[in-house]
Chains A and B, each alone.
Chain A
């Protein structure tokens, strides 16, 4: 690593690169406030941290919505809330289509397949769909199954473990101090309760959020360290893709340089975590920015489409990983 001229980055190198201990909130904020000319150095440091504490492999995942739309919650960024005038209609995915989606995902080389539902928490109908769907996927497709079904009861946590779901996603979405500005139908603490149960169950914890909801840089730093305190196995990093009909439908897209600063800062706050590119990278970063992020701390990607929007072709992402000489994590090493 070349000599770092910025004192915040030099201190970060001493702490994070050498010891694997993530930055504290003021230091994360200092990275988020770096001037543009220091951004390449921040990304290089974040990449070095990722390579040292996570290695060169990239975890590839596909996702699918098993229950789309009609959600009773009011997350202001989400086109699936039934409380907004979004054009997204409610629809369920049947089991054969779910298995086919898992098969398509596995064909890309992905090791992870996450089944997502737009709900406050699962009801018996959804749990029955999960029981049948996870069993059918495990029977037919060689891939690890993850789930994202909202807030859970302890019984539901136990049942997902029994089904063989190995990772559970539940995003805190944003800083605790900003959350009430984004969601009014449930609290940050309710989400945290589910994450605690998931952690205690032995399932891997996947918890991230969305940048660009109107939070300040201070709140972005707060969010990074709140995530770090949870010690999640994975942090998916989304960038707001403003959806028509939602309260944030006219919000600006995150500036690409700010997004890259955030990627570096989150990596320096979470040196050992899987940091995944999730939704919004296409419009926030484009192809060039996507590459910069993979060379700036990101070590996992969602390939293919998202829940209600489309992504890049998996072949484009896989070709980029090949070009960057970043091996795709194999199923054998994921088990």
Chain B
């Protein structure tokens, strides 16, 4: 997957360590395949995120 799902920038550019750390307490916001902003619903025990192009993902 070429894009960071937190900041939307290419994973090949810069360090995304802070993004990875922050993601422990955040859902994804950008589609990792196309960097589109996703529609994200946070639920009491998880989250689900939908990219208009790549479909829905959810927390396990």
Contact = CB atoms under 8 A, between A and B. Distances in A.
B25 A97 contact: no
Contact of A305 (B7, B39, B42): B42
B46 interface: yes
B1 interface: no
Nearest to B45: A104
Given A87-B8, A87-B30, A310 B40 contact: no
A306 B42 contact: yes
Interface in B21-50: 24-27, 29-30, 37-47
B11 to A, nearest CB: 16
A97 B43 contact: yes
Interface residues of B, number: 19
Contact of A68 (B41, B44, B45): B41
Given A87-B29, A89-B40, A311-B25, 6 more contacts: A68-B42, A303-B44, A304-B45, A305-B45, A308-B26, A308-B42
Interface of B: 7-8, 24-27, 29-30, 37-47
A282 B25 CA distance: 8
A88 interface: yes
B37 A305 contact: no
Contacts, number: 66
Nearest to B42: A305
Contacts of B8: 87
A65 B42 contact: yes
B7 A244 contact: yes
A309 interface: yes
A305 B27 CA distance: 10
B47 A305 contact: yes
A303 B29 CA distance: 22
Interface residues of A, number: 30
A62 to B, nearest CB: 4
The 3 closest A-B pairs by CB, nearest first: A87-B29, A304-B44, A62-B44
27 contacts: A62-B44, A68-B40, A68-B41, A87-B29, A91-B39, A91-B40, A100-B43, A101-B43, A104-B43, A108-B44, A244-B7, A283-B25, A303-B44, A304-B45, A305-B42, A305-B44, A305-B45, A306-B42, A308-B26, A308-B27, A308-B42, A309-B27, A310-B26, A310-B27, A310-B42, A311-B25, A314-B44
B16 to A, nearest CB: 13
A310 B25 contact: yes
A326 interface: no
Interface in A243-260: 244
A1 B30 CA distance: 52
Nearest to A303: B44
Contacts of B30: 87
A307 B39 contact: no
Given A89-B37, A89-B38, A305 B29 contact: no
B55 to A, nearest CB: 15
Given A283-B25, A309-B26, A63 B44 contact: yes
A105 interface: yes
Contacts of B37: 87, 89
Interface in A277-331: 282-283, 303-311, 314
A229 to B, nearest CB: 33
A93 interface: yes
Nearest to A282: B25
Given A283-B25, A310-B25, A93 B44 contact: no
